[in-house]
Structure 1
Amino acid sequence: MKRAILTAIALVAVPFVALADDDDNKAEAGMGLAGILSKSNREALPELTLSAGQPVAKGALTLKSGKYYTLEIKADGSQELALEGAGFFRAVWVNEIVIEGIEIRPLGVDSIEFDEAGEAEISFIAIKPGSYHLKVPGSTGDTQQVSITIE
């Protein structure tokens, strides 16, 4: 009878030992209990600029799936400009968009438009590998878009 009870206790304890091992592995990988939302998994991307006749970005962006990013977009007000990229926004999980201290937690995004000078910061986790673009709607020039690759 004692042997059956000890066996039952051992079987119940096995999943908890496995969970403890998982926590140790996360710590070794540099992530805390928050996992992919941990500070150690965050990276700030180069700023995007919206200005009449000026390039949107200095170059293409390469992201890693599962990494948390922040992207700052600044508009100088020289023209009403937007960035669209439904494909990109469907390939990431948007945590929040911050505009003038106001935090927005959207279920989906298609574009962001600036009618005047201002800035917005988007924080997101890259999910779906592939090639995407954020571009000024109606533009055809390569400088009016930023290419984004998620690996």
Structure 2
Amino acid sequence: MHRLIFAVLAALFLAGPAGAAPLCGELGFSGLLAKCNRGEPIEITLSSGKPLGKGAIALQSGAYYEMRITADGSAELALTGAPFFRAIWMNEIVINGIEVRPMAIDSLEFDEAGTATLSFIAIKPGSYEVKIPDTSSDSQKVQISIQ
């Protein structure tokens, strides 16, 4: 009898808000890619001598995001951040209309002007950074936290 009561209470607890998707409320885990579970787009600009972004970025674990990385072609630049890329579930990368569904990435390099759009779900809480490799300036990196 105690096991039955425990099982019912556990089922009620898991079916409540604790098991729901972060931004959707009642959709549950089936709603991870739902429109209501999407955070604000993240804009990153690769340009010689200019900052990557407008400051630190806070993401919510379990929410869906798009990161638009735009290179202006002023220099051959890359964006690295393997720890961050390992802390997310990558849905796809779209480059010139071509959709790539990778298991993981370490970096993206732009030889010419263009845009790559990464869509992902933030998973592992922590503090991360994406940056232009071999640079030391704070403006050449973006701090990203997953909460």
- Paired residue for 2:44? 48
Alignment of 1:12-91 (within 5 A): 22=15, 29-31=25-27, 34-91=30-87
- Paired residue for 1:115? 111
The answer (yes or no) to whether the contact 1:74–1:119 under 8 Å persists in 2 is yes
The answer (yes or no) to whether the contact 2:84–2:128 under 8 Å persists in 1 is yes
Cα distance in structure 1, aligned partners of 2:86 and 2:48: 27
- Paired residue for 1:137? 133
The answer (yes or no) to whether the contact 2:42–2:66 under 8 Å persists in 1 is no
**Matching residue's letter, 1:133:** E
Percent identity over the alignment is 56
Stretches of structure 1 lacking an aligned partner (at least 5 in a row): 1-14
Q: Calculate the TM-score normalised by the size of structure 1.
A: 0.80
Cα distance in structure 1, aligned partners of 2:67 and 2:135: 21
**Matching residue's letter, 2:87:** A
Higher helix share: 1
Give 1 or 2 for the bigger CA radius of gyration: 1
Greater shift in the superposed pair: 32-41 or 95-104: 32-41
Cα distance in structure 2, aligned partners of 1:51 and 1:26: 39
The Cα offsets for residues 13-39 of structure 1, whole Å up to 9 and x where unpaired, read as xx9xx79x949x869825378321111
Partner of 1:43, secondary structure, is coil
The answer (yes or no) to whether the contact 1:97–1:104 under 8 Å persists in 2 is yes
The answer (yes or no) to whether the contact 1:50–1:74 under 8 Å persists in 2 is yes
Greater shift in the superposed pair: 29-38 or 111-120: 29-38
Q: Which consecutive segments of 4 or more residues in structure 1 shift more than 4 A?
A: 25-28
- Paired residue for 1:7? none
Stretches of structure 2 lacking an aligned partner (at least 5 in a row): 1-7
Cα distance in structure 2, aligned partners of 1:34 and 1:100: 29
**Matching residue's letter, 1:65:** S
Cα distance in structure 1, aligned partners of 2:43 and 2:26: 26
